[in-house]
Structure 1
């Protein structure tokens, strides 16, 4: 047999062997086909729809929770702002306050002076000294003759009359209300005012201070006038700051 014939036989043998191998592999691993009947396919489709519906409901539930959370957070911010505003108003004296404290009545020593009749006006410096001493001993809120004192309050003599923010203190007795942090502080304030230097100052001017026992709840009225803000401007901020 010649060389060419040998090569031809070898090639044919390889081709036949490759075809047999392919046929054997095809028989060994047949193609997998979907053998489910119509009822099974319908059942699987229903399950898929139910799963899809469950996912949609879960998404809707989460969206509702997020919306509720955003609403609550917005309301919480608004509530905090309102509480802060009320706190600032209270500190500024623009709201009525109630708390433990004491009452001080300023009266004239002269027994001949009838109750409620006009008397000589109390010097402004006496009122100012009394207020300073009360603040030193823990006063939070003070009113004089139902006139609330605030940071901008002015006590001065106008045409021979002592006035607090323009309101005259001309009728005796003059009631001073003071509220403090707690009843314990009110008791301490009461004891200190019993031996205060202000009482001596008033006595020299023919007045006396009658100091009440501590009260659990005293009501101090709000400041009656509007508070004007001077020398204040809007702050300029850099863009993007």
Structure 2
């Protein structure tokens, strides 16, 4: 009985020892397999990181190119804005030719009303032209040229040695043309209707001159001011704001 117990115990111990040896053997073998697998995983991870880095660098370069293009567009926009502003200022100052809706008027002598032997009036008094301009401005005229000379804010119309001059230009012979431009066609129609019944027609007739007003035209071309503009009482400001 005791021998059987001893044999059984010995057998159990042997089996247990064998099982433990087998487990230990497997434990020793597995790290080698796991290490090999980890190396490939590290290589794959490294490749993925390199690929990600490459993608990030490409994205950074793309964004830098976009920023450069944006800066270039912004600079061009600023330049274009300056160009557009300059055009607007030149237009407002009368330094650019412009085609807009408007009317044309003609000033000519009234020959049929003049008695035989009476000299024909070939001079338009400057005060008549000034009153005509004032009336046109009152009726929303925006661009005006008389005898081919653009009228601007600094224009001077006066009599010099019995000659009517517009900024130094002598209005010598009749007939002369007056071109008037406005913002839109409806304003041109209103201007035409008002000028047809204005007092200017009578005032010109008193001076043996006829003022003929044409019908509204969607496209009349007003020439640019072609003389130099003198600027007085203006000095460039110093950099930094000090004048």
* Fold shared, TM-score > 0.5 on shorter chain: yes
SS of the aligned residue for 2:215 comes to coil
Name the count of aligned residue pairs.
Answer: 204
Residue in structure 2 matched with residue 103 of structure 1 by the alignment: 104
Quote the Cα distance in structure 2 between the aligned partners of 1:92 and 1:203.
33
What is the TM-score of this pair, normalised by structure 2?
0.79
Residue in structure 1 matched with residue 83 of structure 2 by the alignment: 82
Shift of the alpha carbon at 1:144? 0.5
Residue in structure 1 matched with residue 4 of structure 2 by the alignment: none
Shift of the alpha carbon at 1:42? 1.8
SS of the aligned residue for 1:177 comes to strand
Residue in structure 2 matched with residue 164 of structure 1 by the alignment: 166
Shift in CA distance, 46/90, structure 1 to aligned 2, threshold 3 Å: same
Quote the Cα distance in structure 1 between the aligned partners of 2:241 and 2:102.
49
Shift of the alpha carbon at 1:238? 5.7
Q: Could you list the per-position Cα deviations for residues 137-157 of structure 1 after superposition, in whole angstroms to 9, with x for gaps in the alignment?
A: 011100001111111111011
Shift of the alpha carbon at 1:237? 7.2
SS of the aligned residue for 1:170 comes to coil
Residue in structure 1 matched with residue 212 of structure 2 by the alignment: 210
- 1:229 aligned to 2:231? yes
- 1:198 aligned to 2:200? yes
Quote the Cα distance in structure 2 between the aligned partners of 1:41 and 1:182.
77
Quote the Cα distance in structure 2 between the aligned partners of 1:205 and 1:145.
18
Contact kept, 8 Å, 2:122 with 2:174, in 1: the verdict is no
SS of the aligned residue for 2:218 comes to strand
Residue in structure 1 matched with residue 27 of structure 2 by the alignment: none
Quote the Cα distance in structure 1 between the aligned partners of 2:241 and 2:168.
45
RMSD: 2.0
Comparing both structures, which one devotes a greater share of its residues to helix? 2
What is the TM-score of this pair, normalised by structure 1?
0.79
Residue in structure 2 matched with residue 67 of structure 1 by the alignment: 68
SS of the aligned residue for 2:112 comes to coil
Contact kept, 8 Å, 1:119 with 1:170, in 2: the verdict is no
Quote the Cα distance in structure 1 between the aligned partners of 2:110 and 2:103.
21
Describe how 1:17-166 pairs up with structure 2 within 5 A: 36-111=37-112, 119-166=121-168
Quote the Cα distance in structure 2 between the aligned partners of 1:46 and 1:124.
90
Shift of the alpha carbon at 1:112? 8.5
Q: Could you list the per-position Cα deviations for residues 20-50 of structure 1 after superposition, in whole angstroms to 9, with x for gaps in the alignment?
A: xxxxxxxxxxxxx966443332222111100
Quote the Cα distance in structure 2 between the aligned partners of 1:187 and 1:93.
23
